[in-house]
Structure 1
Amino acid sequence: MPGVTRRTFLAFTAVASVVEPTFAEGEGSSRELQALIATHGTAYEALHRVVHRADSSWHDRKSADRIEEEALLAICSHPATSRGDRRAKAEYLLAVEARGRIMECKMACMSSSRSSSPT
Structure 2
Amino acid sequence: MKTTVYNIGVEATIDVIGGKWKPIILCHLKHDTKRTSELKRLMPKITQKMLTQQLRELELDGVVNRTVYEQVPPKVEYSLSTYGESLAPVLELLCLWGEIHVQQRVDIYHEDILLENKELS
**What TM-score results when the alignment is normalised by the length of structure 1?**
0.31
Give the structure with the higher percent strand: 2
**What TM-score results when the alignment is normalised by the length of structure 2?**
0.31
Higher alpha-carbon Rg: 1
Give the structure with the higher percent helix: 1
